[in-house]
Amino acid sequence: MMVRYFGKAYDAPIYKGTLQIPTPDRVKCMYCEEFILMGEDGFIDSTYNAFHRECWIRMILGSVAHQSGTCSCFTKDGGEHDPPDMTRREAAKLALAYSEGKRR
Protein backbone atom coordinates (compact mmCIF):
# COMPACT_ATOMS: atom_id res chain seq x y z
CA MET A 1 0.00 0.00 0.00
CA MET A 2 1.47 3.33 -1.07
CA VAL A 3 0.91 5.83 1.72
CA ARG A 4 2.05 9.42 1.56
CA TYR A 5 2.06 11.99 4.33
CA PHE A 6 1.62 15.73 4.54
CA GLY A 7 2.60 18.18 7.25
CA LYS A 8 5.11 17.31 9.93
CA ALA A 9 7.05 14.03 9.91
CA TYR A 10 6.94 12.46 13.37
CA ASP A 11 9.39 9.97 14.82
CA ALA A 12 7.41 6.88 13.85
CA PRO A 13 8.06 3.98 11.47
CA ILE A 14 5.34 4.99 8.99
CA TYR A 15 7.33 8.12 8.03
CA LYS A 16 10.52 6.23 7.18
CA GLY A 17 10.82 5.99 3.40
CA THR A 18 7.39 7.55 2.89
CA LEU A 19 6.92 10.34 0.36
CA GLN A 20 5.96 13.75 1.74
CA ILE A 21 3.43 15.66 -0.34
CA PRO A 22 1.85 19.12 -0.07
CA THR A 23 -1.11 19.45 2.30
CA PRO A 24 -4.36 18.87 0.40
CA ASP A 25 -5.99 22.14 1.48
CA ARG A 26 -9.80 22.14 1.78
CA VAL A 27 -10.16 18.42 1.04
CA LYS A 28 -12.46 16.50 3.38
CA CYS A 29 -10.97 13.87 5.68
CA MET A 30 -12.47 10.49 4.84
CA TYR A 31 -12.84 9.62 8.54
CA CYS A 32 -14.24 12.71 10.25
CA GLU A 33 -15.51 14.49 7.12
CA GLU A 34 -14.04 17.81 8.31
CA PHE A 35 -11.88 19.82 5.95
CA ILE A 36 -8.11 19.39 6.06
CA LEU A 37 -6.49 22.81 6.30
CA MET A 38 -3.02 24.13 5.60
CA GLY A 39 -0.71 23.45 8.54
CA GLU A 40 -2.40 20.19 9.52
CA ASP A 41 -0.74 16.77 9.45
CA GLY A 42 -2.03 13.60 7.89
CA PHE A 43 -1.92 10.87 5.31
CA ILE A 44 -3.10 10.04 1.81
CA ASP A 45 -3.79 6.36 1.16
CA SER A 46 -3.21 4.42 -2.04
CA THR A 47 -6.64 5.40 -3.40
CA TYR A 48 -5.95 9.11 -2.77
CA ASN A 49 -8.23 9.41 0.26
CA ALA A 50 -7.02 12.06 2.71
CA PHE A 51 -7.04 11.70 6.51
CA HIS A 52 -6.02 13.92 9.42
CA ARG A 53 -3.16 12.32 11.37
CA GLU A 54 -5.31 11.76 14.45
CA CYS A 55 -8.14 10.26 12.36
CA TRP A 56 -5.72 7.85 10.65
CA ILE A 57 -4.32 6.72 13.99
CA ARG A 58 -7.83 6.43 15.50
CA MET A 59 -8.78 4.05 12.67
CA ILE A 60 -5.74 1.88 13.45
CA LEU A 61 -5.65 1.91 17.26
CA GLY A 62 -9.34 2.34 18.01
CA SER A 63 -11.18 4.52 20.48
CA VAL A 64 -10.09 5.24 24.03
CA ALA A 65 -12.59 2.60 25.17
CA HIS A 66 -10.99 0.06 22.84
CA GLN A 67 -7.43 0.96 23.83
CA SER A 68 -8.32 0.70 27.53
CA GLY A 69 -10.15 -2.63 27.06
CA THR A 70 -13.59 -1.37 28.10
CA CYS A 71 -15.46 -1.44 24.76
CA SER A 72 -17.77 -4.22 23.60
CA CYS A 73 -14.79 -6.03 22.01
CA PHE A 74 -13.58 -6.88 25.51
CA THR A 75 -16.68 -6.85 27.72
CA LYS A 76 -20.23 -8.01 27.09
CA ASP A 77 -21.67 -4.71 28.34
CA GLY A 78 -18.89 -2.49 27.01
CA GLY A 79 -19.40 1.23 26.82
CA GLU A 80 -19.47 3.62 23.91
CA HIS A 81 -16.70 3.37 21.36
CA ASP A 82 -16.38 7.16 21.25
CA PRO A 83 -17.86 9.67 23.69
CA PRO A 84 -21.30 10.59 22.28
CA ASP A 85 -20.85 14.30 22.97
CA MET A 86 -17.74 14.57 20.79
CA THR A 87 -17.34 14.95 17.05
CA ARG A 88 -15.48 12.15 15.28
CA ARG A 89 -12.40 14.37 15.04
CA GLU A 90 -12.51 15.35 18.72
CA ALA A 91 -12.76 11.67 19.65
CA ALA A 92 -9.86 10.89 17.30
CA LYS A 93 -7.72 13.55 18.99
CA LEU A 94 -8.62 12.06 22.38
CA ALA A 95 -7.70 8.55 21.20
CA LEU A 96 -4.34 9.80 19.90
CA ALA A 97 -3.62 11.63 23.17
CA TYR A 98 -4.54 8.50 25.15
CA SER A 99 -2.23 6.36 23.00
CA GLU A 100 0.65 8.81 23.33
CA GLY A 101 0.14 8.97 27.10
CA LYS A 102 0.33 5.18 27.38
CA ARG A 103 3.67 5.10 25.57
CA ARG A 104 5.34 7.59 27.90
Give the amino acid at 79: G
How many domains in the chain?
Answer: 1
Q: Are the C-beta atoms of residues 63 and 71 closer than 8 Å to each other?
A: yes
Residue (of 55, 14, 104) closest to 63 by Cα position: 55
pLDDT in tens, 27-46: 999 999 999 999 999 999 99
pLDDT in tens, 55-99: 999 999 999 989 988 888 887 776 667 888 999 999 999 999 999
* Rounded Cα–Cα distance for residues 51 and 36 (Å): 8
Supply the range of the domain harboring residue 12: 4-103
Q: 3-state secondary structure string, 49-92? A: CEEEHHHHHHHHHCCHHHHCCCECCCCCCCECCCCCCCCHHHHH
